[in-house]
Amino acid sequence: MKITDNSLIILKKRYYKKDADGKPIEDWNGMISRVANNIAGDDDSKKERYFKLLDSGKFLPNSPTLMNAGNDIQQLSACFVLPIEDSMESIFNTLKNAALIHKSGGGTGFSFSRLREKNSRVRSTNGVSSGIIPFMEVYNSATNAVKQGGTRRGANMAILKVTHPQIMEFITAKEDITKLTNFNISVGVNNEFMEAVKQDGDFNLISPFTNKVTKTLKARVIFDKMVELAHKNGEPGIIFLDKINEFNPTPHIGEIESTNPCGEQPLLPNEACNLGSINLAAFVKDGEIDWEDLKFVIKESVEFLDDVIDRTIFPLKEIDEMVKGNRKIGLGVMGWSDLLFMLKIPYNSEKGLELAKKVMEFVDYYGKEKSVELAELHGSFPNYKGSIYDTGNLKREGNLDWNGLIKKMSTIGIRNATITTIAPTGTISMIADTSSGVEPQFSLVFVKNVMDGEKLLYVNKHFENALKEAGLYSKDLLEKVAQHGSIKHLDEIPESIKKIFVTSHDISPEWHVKMQSSFQEYVDNAVSKTINFLNDASPEDIKTAYQLAYDTKCKGITVYRDGSRTGQVLNIGDSIKKDAPKIKIQPRKRPEVTTGTTQKIETGCGHMYVTINSDEKGACEVFIQMGKVGGCASAQLQSIARLISLSLRSNVSVESIIRQMKGIRCPSPTWSKGKAVTSCSDAVAQALENYLSFKDTINIKNVEFTEVKPTQTKKMVGTCPECGSAIENTEGCLKCPSCGWSKC
């Protein structure tokens, strides 16, 4: 496989085996040899087959397999769900198990639905329960303390059934985005609730402790609160539990109550799943999909993922037993957007939806056919008896011979309880130099920040080819595209190109949901997909998307309204409105001598020293120093200090400055003296708060300000903590397209 410069950076930093000094000691061939040899075991023919499969660039397994196969950890699964029962012993035993999983590189999902509600009686202590939120906070803090695989924080999913008495508190649990920072949260809704929303009916909240109704609300009150918070900052998401359990392959083993952190893998308690993705863009030959080659890779990939189960060392005996009882795998796709570019099919078109169904039916059908062949050789998964395959309840119709295949399953069996999942492909899609999962491209051109402040333009290769074919390629045009990411505003680009090369925000939420639904029809598990909204979208728009997802039989939905998270930066559109009144304020002069204090505050980046000096009118200047940081970080801290100083001498109140800076979050939060410090900006805000606590209130005359707002054409989530490039919100995760940094 051709390794791009970007791919090589990611591989060296996150995947290649390293020596004691942290230096890579393998290259691409060394890594895939390590993985192929480990997964193949003693079968030499498989070693060669798996090496070719990985080297083709047509399939890659999930990151834990690439990182850990053949290494000391040997934990190869990405997705876990752990049970939480209504007892202190269960809560903290699960917490310990979650820490072990995070340490090994996996993400965890939990259902908190079995925990009794706040103020319920606790007989053993004759007291009352604290409810679910404090325990979620304990889990969140523990996750902070454990680095996942030594490279990043672990990720969690918290799900609460909509019937739980604390559902309203849960919905608002992340309204303050400095809380529960290591959790994604989703409400588990049932059909009864969704129908009650449609009919404006009542809905009962039921205590999991007493099984009695504790309160009755209008279903729309709950639903509207979910919409309100999702509109505000993207959470909570929705999981359609009845739809998930309708397709539960082993209902006789248990009910599915939770998913992994990104929502694409519903799992039973103590179950795990390993995933892998096929690069669809690698199968275009002479302007068409090479279906025979795709069939071959599907079958090779299924066998590879099945072997991963037997090579994995799971952190818990209970998980090992459950995984090997069901043998679930999750084969998905990536490169979907690039495939559409190559075939000149718009993402937001009926032709696009039809191809999605055709491609996913093909993957699902031949994946299951291979699993039946493996069952004939090695036996069905142990919990096959009573499964949907044994009872004939597998629901599939389409263009392929499903009746014949289902008949084979009923006589031969099947090796894996699930075959297909569409997962976030984050860094593995970057390694393969293709688009993520089934998402549209977020941007056709993006800017990468490199050393010494230099900025490089990275262009989607298919878009670049289209521009060159049309005789339009130029650096000036690319810089224009980079300002927006999209091309729909550029008159110099013909409609024929604009129609094909659409990006996330060019596509209406309705088409996003329709595409998710089209893939879901032939996916055993679920589909990781973000439904993108423009900044000016209304709560009613999000409500419509939620209802459409339910009506089109999706298993869940995650939405994100552009710019809805605080602390975001503008990617473009930073011009000031021409008609805005100009305000001229002359800051007071700094006296020759000032007096002040210096505070030491721990941050996730190191020791910070904040000096606040005063003149006769109060605080007038701030100086910030931090350890040995240099370059851009040092310049940013100096800029913050200068702007605060300018504001203070321009009669802006300290309280106003605190409100603007407090709670801004970076990827490296920490604790200092019992308080969370969410970023360097938050640390400065806390220093200013401390200053006010031991200084008299500053007497500042009132000055009226007119708010000057920049135009907002497109916002990004923020900047990458590792390379400084803009971050995307896609597939339920934050992702840097430059260096591969991600956080779910």
Contact criterion met (CB below 8 Å) for 232 and 220? no
Whether residue 262 lies in the annotated active site: yes
Alpha-carbon Rg for the chain, nearest whole angstrom, is 27
Q: Which amino acid is at 221?
A: V
Q: Which two tokens stand for residue 691?
A: 């200053």
Q: Which two tokens stand for residue 560?
A: 């994100």
Strands 329-334 and 445-449: unpaired
Helix or strand or coil: residue 408? helix
Q: What's the rounded Cα separation, in Å, for the pair 51 and 46?
A: 8
Break the chain down into helix, strand, coil percent, rounded to 5: 40, 20, 40
Q: Residue for token digits 């055993």?
A: 524
Count CB atoms within 10 A of the CB of residue 298: 25
Using CA atoms of 727, 732, 165, 216 in order, give the dihedral in degrees to the nearest 10.
100
Length of the chain: 744
Give me the residues paired with residue 61 across strands.
276
Q: Residue for token digits 């995070």?
A: 102
Helix or strand or coil: residue 296? helix
Q: Residue for token digits 């990939």?
A: 301
Q: Residue for token digits 């605190």?
A: 658
**Catalytic choice (117, 235, 257, 264):** 264
Q: Residue for token digits 């009650």?
A: 196
Residue 598's contacts (CB-CB under 8 Å, 6 or more residues apart) are 609, 610, 611
**Secondary structure element (H or E) that encloses residue 718, with its range:** strand 718-719
Q: What's the rounded Cα separation, in Å, for the pair 50 and 33?
A: 9
Helix or strand or coil: residue 523? coil
**Secondary structure element (H or E) that encloses residue 603, with its range:** strand 595-603
**Catalytic choice (156, 184, 260, 274):** 260
Whether residue 632 lies in the annotated active site: no
Which DSSP symbol is given to 12? Answer: I
Q: Which two tokens stand for residue 590?
A: 């700094």
Longest Cα–Cα distance of the chain, Å, equals: 91
Q: What's the rounded Cα separation, in Å, for the pair 420 and 332?
A: 6
Q: Which two tokens stand for residue 645?
A: 């100083």
Q: What's the rounded Cα separation, in Å, for the pair 418 and 192?
A: 27
Q: Which two tokens stand for residue 604?
A: 């996730």
**Catalytic choice (79, 262, 554, 733):** 262
Q: What's the rounded Cα separation, in Å, for the pair 113 and 159?
A: 7
Helix or strand or coil: residue 238? strand
For 567, 634, 654, the CA distances from 657, given in Å and listed in that order, are: 14, 20, 5
Contact criterion met (CB below 8 Å) for 222 and 183? no
Whether residue 26 lies in the annotated active site: no
Residue 58's contacts (CB-CB under 8 Å, 6 or more residues apart) are 278, 279, 282, 283, 293, 297
Our CA angle for 346, 347, 349, nearest 5°, is: 70
For 110, 155, 191, 495, the CA distances from 259, given in Å and listed in that order, are: 7, 12, 18, 41
Q: What's the rounded Cα separation, in Å, for the pair 402 and 358?
A: 14
Rounded to 10 deg, the angle between the 219-233 and 191-199 helix axes is 100
Work out whether the CA dihedral 139, 144, 145, 151 comes out positive or negative. Answer: positive
Q: Residue for token digits 């957007």?
A: 337
The residues assigned a catalytic role are 260, 262, 264
